[in-house]
Each structure stands twice: as C-alpha cells, then as structure tokens.
Structure 1
Amino acid sequence: MSMQLTVLALLTGLLAGAVFRFFTIPIPAPPELPGIMGIVGIYLGYKVIEYADIGIDLLETLGL
C-alpha cells in the first residue's frame, strides 16, 4: 500500500466530513468512539483471516 494513496484517502475523507458538516447532514459513520472501534475491529478481523489464508468462497459454495 502506498503512502500517497493513504494520504489521498485521508484527505478525501476529511473533505467529505467537512461537506457533511457544512450542510448539517448526519455522517454515514458512527460518531462515537465505540462505533469507530467496531469498524476497526471488523477491519482487523478481516486482515487476520486473510493473513491466516483460511476461509471459503461463499458464492462458489452457493453455486452463484
């Protein structure tokens, strides 16, 4: 993962958050720390399974 891509993603997120706030639209993300930590947990769980190289292809198993 490139640092440039990470910085661009952060800047895009900051801009999107500023636009949401400017127009007083609720953000499509949890505004509290426990909700944010839940999202971090989902990401970390995904990466752990990816690193362990385990899992099944659900679409293939269902024949789709």
Structure 2
Amino acid sequence: MGSTLVLALLAGIFVGALFSVIQIPIPAPPSLPGVLGIIGIFLGYKGIEWVGVKIDLFAMLSVVF
C-alpha cells in the first residue's frame, strides 16, 4: 500500500507540474478550504461505507418513474 501512495503522489506532482507548464488551471481547488472539503467528502464516503448503510438509487428511481 505504501508504494501505491508514493506512486499516486508522484503522479499528482507530475500532472500538477505539467498543468503549470502548459498554463492551464488545475482541476482542484487552489485553497485550503477547498482541499479540506474534498477530504471531508472522502471521509464521509468511507464512514458510511464502514457503517454499512446502503441505498439503491436505481431501485428508488424505478419506483418513481
């Protein structure tokens, strides 16, 4: 798992540098509150996954439509 994290970090650094070189905006929030929001979304997703709550959205939509 450690090597996967290092490779993911290196890929992110490479892509971020590439975006900077070709002068296009990065597809991520450029401020700490934005980054923390993304981390919060991830932690919320993992928390619900850990608790085991599941909702079948397709089944709910098929009842409505």
Q: Same fold (TM over 0.5)?
A: yes
Is there any run of 5+ residues in structure 2 with no aligned partner, and where?
none
By how many angstroms is 1:45 displaced? Answer: 0.3
Equivalents in 2 of 1:44, 1:37: separation in Å? 10
Aligned length: 62
Is there any run of 5+ residues in structure 1 with no aligned partner, and where?
none
Q: Deviations over 1:1-42 (max 9, x none)?
A: x11111111110000000001111110100000000000000
With normalisation by structure 1, the TM-score equals 0.88
Runs of 4+ in structure 1 off by over 6 angstroms are none
| Partner of residue 26, structure 1 | 25
One-letter identity of the residue aligned with 1:33: L
| Partner of residue 13, structure 2 | 14
Larger displacement relative to structure 2 (54-63 or 31-40): 54-63
| Partner of residue 41, structure 1 | 40
Identity of counterpart residues, as a percentage? 53
Q: Tell me, what secondary structure is at the counterpart of 1:27?
A: coil
With normalisation by structure 2, the TM-score equals 0.87
